[in-house]
Homo-oligomer: A and B are copies of this chain.
């Protein structure tokens, strides 16, 4: 895959913020640089979590967290690091068994601040519950890191019967969304000093494994799960449409965008469908299971506003369209690069 990178000669090319934004540049960096270097894990699509060799019931996922500022309405880098990795495991149909937690901190960081975010990570892990079984602490000199970065890696055990994968989405599938979009990205943005929104934004950061467990009875009819983090719903749907070689159409009116999110995105020229989330997910399910799956999601508070937002079609493969409020169709492209850097 070559996505027409804007930097043609690698000997001169530099890493861009957009390479880490979860969109086209990230996909290109993966395909053209990372995977040729370290090897492709297997024949299937890249997923939020990978199967552990010789232990097919176990999955593993890793994520580094560089969110700035460290705290934001609804969470902090500690809770986010727990939720992010728990959710990546959940998107493969797994409940978490154990987490590792690695700290890279800048010399001069107040110990009280480090204690606060690690305590938040600990509380979040106990609430799941998942034990933090191992860790690492590195300190770099002043100016060599921006305060604090965390990495969590999780091992999860797949729930019996659940084998969601990006390439299992099928034409005809109902596309469900477990909650409103855009809250995490706008909450982090609102916490940055230079921006002062009137509205209160609260990140949706939360663990999603209970919702996935509720889908357990739907078993193999749950084809694909994906939490729309970096790059938002737009990136997640484009990845699934590409990996499953299907088309996707969603109804704009069916996607819940909270009013303050819509207003902030209007003001900043952002598409709410490209804004990061940390507490909702997309599910592609067999159409006859739509009502059962929605009932399962709505049985939990965090899935109270779950709804069907669209469906998968036969093609063109990889095409994602949005039916707008007035009935027109627009293409929802894979975002190119960063909208909002360092939101996770």
A→B interface (CB under 8 Å): 7, 10-11, 13-21, 26, 29-30, 33-34, 36-39, 41-42, 49-55, 58, 60-66, 68, 97-98, 100-112, 114-115, 118-119, 121-122, 125-126, 131-141, 143-146, 149, 151, 153, 155, 157, 341-342
Q: Would you mind naming 30 contact pairs between A and B with Cβ atoms under 8 Å apart?
A: A13-B112, A15-B106, A15-B108, A15-B110, A15-B111, A15-B114, A17-B139, A20-B140, A26-B137, A33-B115, A34-B103, A34-B137, A36-B119, A38-B121, A38-B132, A38-B135, A39-B126, A49-B134, A52-B98, A60-B98, A60-B134, A61-B100, A62-B102, A62-B136, A66-B104, A66-B140, A66-B144, A68-B144, A102-B153, A153-B153
Residue contact A50 to B14, C-beta cutoff 8 Å: no
B26, A135: Cβ atoms closer than 8 Å: no
With contact pairs A63-B102, A125-B39, A133-B60 given, residues A16 and B107 touching in the complex (Cβ less than 8 Å)? yes
How far is A14 from B112 in the complex, measured between Cα atoms in Å? 8
Contact between chains at A20 and B54 (CB < 8 Å): no
Which secondary structure dominates where chain A touches chain B?
A: mixed
State whether A132 touches B64 (Cβ < 8 A).
Answer: no
- With a CB–CB cut-off of 8 A, which chain B residues contact A145? 66, 144-146, 149
Contact A118 B39 (CB under 8 A): no
**How near does chain B come to A115, taking the closest CB pair, in angstroms?**
5
A139-B20, A141-B17 are contacts. A115–B37 as well, Cβ < 8 Å?
A: yes
* Residues of B close to A118: CB separation below 8 A: 33-34, 37-38
**Cα separation A143 to B137 with both chains bound (whole Å):** 21
**Chain B residue at minimum C-beta to C-beta distance from A145:** B145
Contact A52:B133 (CB < 8 A) given known A14-B111, A34-B118, A155-B155: yes
Nearest 8 A-B pairs (CB), nearest first? A20-B139, A37-B118, A62-B100, A153-B153, A144-B146, A50-B134, A50-B133, A38-B122
Asked whether B146 lies within 8 Å of A66 as measured between CB atoms, the reply is no
In the complex, chain B residues whose CB is within 8 Å of the CB of A121:
37-38
**In the complex, what's the smallest C-beta–C-beta distance from A227 to chain B, in angstroms?**
14
Q: Looking at the complex, which one of B17, B53, B100, B144 makes contact with A98 (CB distance below 8 Å)?
A: B53
Tell me whether A20 and B98 are in contact in the complex, defined as CB-CB below 8 angstroms, given that A104-B104, A132-B39 are known contacts.
Answer: no
